[in-house]
Amino acid sequence: MKTGILAALACGCAVSGAALADTVVVDHQVAVRESSLDRPHRGATMGQVEKHFGAPVNRHPTVGVPPITRWDYSGFAVFFEKDRVIHTVVTDGSAAPAS
């Protein structure tokens, strides 16, 4: 019984990982929609992000434990835990729908 539940959970996680979506903030409203916007992916380092996307428009100071840092780019913000991407948020609705 436990094996069947674990297998179902593993399959569900595998399927959910294939979706391409962004968290979009427009007029202070948060929504999730499909997007093909080029953005950093979870696990990338700060160095990899800066090499691929250039210097951010704004670097917010690190806060909390574990240390969380936010970099703002035109169209999205990147959140890091220590030096690794944990989330990217589209900020101006510029994400093009995935085709």
Tens of pLDDT along 7-17?
455 545 444 44
- Report the DSSP pairing between strands 84-90 and 21-26: parallel
State CA 43 to chain mean position distance.
10
Tens of pLDDT along 41-76?
999 999 999 999 999 999 999 999 999 999 999 889
Domains in the chain: boundaries: 20-90
Handedness of CA 41, 42, 43, 48 (dihedral sign): positive
Give yes or no for a contact between 43 and 84, defined as CB atoms under 8 angstroms apart: yes
Report pTM: 0.63
Return the DSSP state at 65. Answer: T
